[in-house]
Amino acid sequence: MMQRVTISNFMHPLMLLACLLCLGACGAKSVKKMDASLMMEPTEFRTEVNHWPEEKEHDIDFLDIYDPWEPMNRNLYNFNAGLDEYFMLPVTTVYDTVVPSPVRTGVGNVIQNANEVGTLVNCILQGKVEKGAITTSRFLINTTFGVLGLFDWASESENLKLQEEDFGQTFGVWGMGNGPYFVMPLFGPSNLRDTVGFGADFLFLLLEMKHAYKLLGIKNTKTVAYTELVLRALNRRSTTAFRYHSTGSPFEYELIRFVYTKKRELDILH
Amino acid sequence: MHYIYVRKLLPSAKMRKLLFLLIVATLLTPTVSPAGSDYAYPYQDAYKATVYGTPPELVHPIKDPVEPKLRSIKIDGRRIPDVLSYSSEMFYSTALQKDAAPLIFVIAGTGAEHNSAKMKFLTKLFYQAGYHVVALSSPTHMNFVVSVSEHGAPGYVPYDVNDLYRVMLWIKADIAKECEVSGYSITGYSLGAMHSAFLAHRDSEKGDFNFEKVLMINPPVSLIHSVARIDSWLTPENLGDLTVHEEIEHFIEMFSEYYERADVTDLDDNFMYELVTHVDLKDKDLRALIAVDFRVSSSSMIFASDVMLQAGYVVPPDEYPLTTGKPMLPYAEEAFEISFKEYLNEFLLPYIQYKEPGVDRYTLMKECSLYAIRSYLMETEKIVVIGNRNDVILNEHDLDFIDTVFGSRAKLYPTGGHCGNLMYTPFAEAMLEMLKP
């Protein structure tokens, strides 16, 4: 008897996940067509004039970003795109359909509020007084009046807009260079410095979660922690508009690499 | 005491204001035509209009907009290189009514996808007006080239129209299984408008759709002329001493400065609008920006086409097969350098001659212009045009052509540039009005 309960308890979430995946998988409704004229058989046609790349100084310097691991990065980019299409997006679609929008907003707000602590620490590490003050005010307002961050009242004020600082930016402010560009498995565009920063952000988050659970008197910390991490992932994907291969460009990898690097450069300056 | 005095005064002040307004209104009514009076598109400058579009607060509101469904068509057994395998299915979107309704096909402009901002707007607009909507990417969009194009070399209108027509027939058959369609119409903006006209012409010979209405939104008259015009904005004639790369770096600098200043946390559509409107862009910069945007999409198209055909244009033959880990920046740079004129002379024309010996440059140019179907357009009442007199892709001759051929079937606004006023309420309402049988 005991044994059976355990198995069904274990099976239940898995079954649920499987059902959710099936539900979410109905992305693009695809139809196959046969047409012999559309096989794209190789032709003998070759252009007489060509524009082959030559070994030379790059013309578009700003797009040229230090990326010694490019072949691996490109494959990681494709891997992430596949993972996104076949796992993250279907699961997120289910999350968006099953969980009502106000609840999702609440979840997003609570996570955002918890993240203010990390931002504040990084503001202090970078000596950014004004941003630190804004973040502190936001955290105090939203934790009290916003019921542990469920509501983001602070953003109603023009002067209390969300600030974002992380360890990657802190390392940048301290003078650490980008290092090689790196596509993190699962998490996407980064560079060596920001990957280390990402690790620091994560460790800090775990520390923060541990203290928060203690403060809130939560006993079953392991289950709650896993739930929180899953919710964080769902919330992040659900609120990120980016879709892989949606730029309509075969040079998407290059574009994203440039935009990421430029954005981080500006964020560090700011 | 004072309070009461004010309260007593208020109604009469209001009355006076009202009376004044009434008088003004009566005086103005006979002189201002109803079509003109509500048209107050904010940007007089054609380039500003083209780049800025419609300010968010003036965008035609659509109540409870439909969320279009993503669909795809995959050609069984088609040879698609690994590096482009993510485009092996042709994506398009639909918004279908529950009950019987007319269906409208919407064709995107040069390099645009079925779900670009303009396409989404049109899909929602037509759906709300009661149509089943099918939104298709431009045959010049990489996804279309890779997944369904017969010849793999986009830009030659007759080939592109063949591809569109074939795809539309498939979609017609598939959708007929799901809902009741009471009739067909077709529309498109920019190059998509030109495609619509040619598709209607093709249909007039084949009779598969019997289009009720054909709405051309901001069409070019000659594709090659319009593109040459855009390309000229990246020459010293427009840029002066600056090279294209210096101009682009200038843009990036300006945009970066704005990003710093504005304390942006979200890179959404509104941010893009805020960005371009708050950065001080001169007409010369706006022209360059339009041209750079065009080059970015044409370089995607050229590269995709070259890889599909392995024509040795940008990618040297000995570099095949391209692996998924291969750095592409060198190709991107080369493809970006290629003007449309070069593509036409060095790639497209030779390829068409390879397929159909005897086609010369003149034929190609004519086949890619409305001149090819001039008499059909002239005598076909169901074809209507909406656009702007200051469209930056049209010259005097093009405007003459539109006036002569379409006459009262063309509605041209004085301002709006190229598709800048597409989402502006009077323009949106006029589109719906013109589609009515």
Q: What is the pLDDT of residues A74-94, one digit of tens each?
A: 999 999 999 999 999 999 999
Could you count the other beta carbons within 10 Å of the beta carbon of residue A96? Answer: 15
Q: Give exposure, B198-212, as e/b (b: 16+ Cβ within 10 Å).
A: bbbbbbeeeeebebb
For residues B237, B241, B243, B249, the Cα torsion angle rounded to the nearest 10 degrees is: -120
Q: Note whether residue B31 is domain-resident.
A: no
Nearest CA in chain B to A31: B73
ipTM: 0.85
Q: Do A262 and B86 touch (CB under 8 A)?
A: no
- What is the model's pLDDT at position A9? 46
Q: Do B328 and A75 touch (CB under 8 A)?
A: no
Same domain, B166 and B104: yes
CB B200 within 8 A of CB B168: no
Per-residue tokens: A32 = 């196959």
Closest to A248 (Cβ–Cβ): which among B71, B83, B143? Answer: B143
Ordered mean pLDDT values, 10 residues apiece, chain A (270 residues): 43 53 60 94 93 73 88 97 95 94 95 96 96 95 92 91 95 97 96 98 95 91 93 94 90 94 91
Same domain, B86 and B187: yes
Chain A residues with CB under 8 Å of B300 CB are 248-251
Same domain, B429 and B393: yes
- Residue B140 CA to residue B112 CA, distance in Å, equals 8
Q: Do A45 and B354 touch (CB under 8 A)?
A: yes
Beta bridge partners of residue B267, listed in sequence order: none
Same domain, B81 and B194: yes
Per-residue tokens: A145 = 């009046």
Length of chain B measured in residues: 437
Nearest CA in chain A to B70: A28
Same domain, B216 and B237: no
- What is the model's pLDDT at position A81? 96
Q: Do A31 and B259 touch (CB under 8 A)?
A: no
Q: Looking at the complex, does the CB of residue A10 fall below 8 Å from at least one CB of chain B?
A: no
End position of a domain, from candidates B298, B322, B352: B352
End position of a domain, from candidates B352, B379, B408: B352
Ordered mean pLDDT values, 10 residues apiece, chain B (437 residues): 39 48 45 59 95 94 94 96 95 97 97 95 98 98 97 96 98 96 98 98 98 98 95 92 89 86 64 79 93 93 97 96 93 93 96 95 97 98 98 97 97 97 97 96
- Residue B148 CA to residue B166 CA, distance in Å, equals 9
CA angle B279, B282, B288 (to 5 degrees): 95
Per-residue tokens: B125 = 């607009």
Mutate to test the interface with B, among A249, A256, A270 (most CBs of B within 10 A): A249
Q: Which helix H or strand E contains A6, and what residues bound it?
A: helix A2-24
Residues 6 or more apart whose Cβ sits within 8 Å of residue B430: B386, B411
Q: Do A250 and B83 touch (CB under 8 A)?
A: yes
CB B120 within 8 A of CB B142: no
Same domain, B211 and B333: no
3-state secondary structure of A151: coil
Residue owning tokens 């107050």: B40
- What is the model's pLDDT at position A51? 95
Our separate counts of H helices and E strands in chain A read 9, 3
Same domain, B203 and B167: yes
CB A264 within 8 A of CB A68: no
Same domain, B267 and B383: no
Q: Domain range spanning residue B344?
A: 229-352
- What is the model's pLDDT at position B28? 44
Which spans in chain A are helix H?
2-24, 70-83, 89-98, 101-126, 129-144, 167-173, 192-216, 221-239, 252-269
Counting the structural domains of chain B, the total is: 2
Chain A residues with CB under 8 Å of B108 CB are none
Same domain, B72 and B213: yes
End position of a domain, from candidates B352, B383, B400: B352
- β-strands B69-75, A188-191 pairing: unpaired
Closest to A60 (Cβ–Cβ): which among B245, B315, B350? Answer: B245
Q: Note whether residue B357 is domain-resident.
A: no
pTM for the model: 0.88
CATH code, domain with B197: 3.40.50.1820
Residues 6 or more apart whose Cβ sits within 8 Å of residue A88: A233, A237
Same domain, B89 and B111: yes
Q: Note whether residue B77 is domain-resident.
A: yes
Phi, psi of B100 (to 5 degrees): -60, 135
Same domain, B253 and B191: no
Nearest CA in chain A to B300: A249
Q: Note whether residue B9 is domain-resident.
A: no
Length of chain A measured in residues: 270
Closest to A28 (Cβ–Cβ): which among B70, B323, B351? Answer: B70
Which spans in B96-141 are helix H?
117-128
Q: Do A266 and B332 touch (CB under 8 A)?
A: no
Q: Do A266 and B260 touch (CB under 8 A)?
A: yes
- Residue B226 CA to residue B220 CA, distance in Å, equals 6
CB A169 within 8 A of CB A153: no
- What is the model's pLDDT at position B19? 47
Chain A residues with CB under 8 Å of B316 CB are 50, 52
- Residue B98 CA to residue B132 CA, distance in Å, equals 9
Q: Note whether residue B304 is domain-resident.
A: yes
A–B: how many Cβ contacts below 8 A?
Answer: 180
Chain B residues with CB under 8 Å of A253 CB are 328
Q: Do A262 and B338 touch (CB under 8 A)?
A: no
- Residue B51 CA to residue B275 CA, distance in Å, equals 11
Q: Which helix H or strand E contains A112, and what residues bound it?
A: helix A101-126
Q: Do B346 and A262 touch (CB under 8 A)?
A: no
Same domain, B282 and B389: no
Chain A residues with CB under 8 Å of B112 CB are 248
Q: Note whether residue B40 is domain-resident.
A: no
Q: Note whether residue B13 is domain-resident.
A: no
- Residue B419 CA to residue B108 CA, distance in Å, equals 12
3-state secondary structure of B186: strand
A window 234-263, beta carbon within 8 A of B: 241, 244-246, 248-251, 253-254, 262
- What is the model's pLDDT at position A21? 56
Could you count the other beta carbons within 10 Å of the beta carbon of residue B430? Answer: 19
Q: Do B312 and A46 touch (CB under 8 A)?
A: yes
CB B73 within 8 A of CB B89: yes
Q: Note whether residue B200 is domain-resident.
A: yes
Q: Report CA B218 to chain centroid distance, whole Å.
A: 8
Q: Looking at the complex, does the CB of residue A267 fall below 8 Å from at least one CB of chain B?
A: no
Nearest CA in chain B to A74: B325
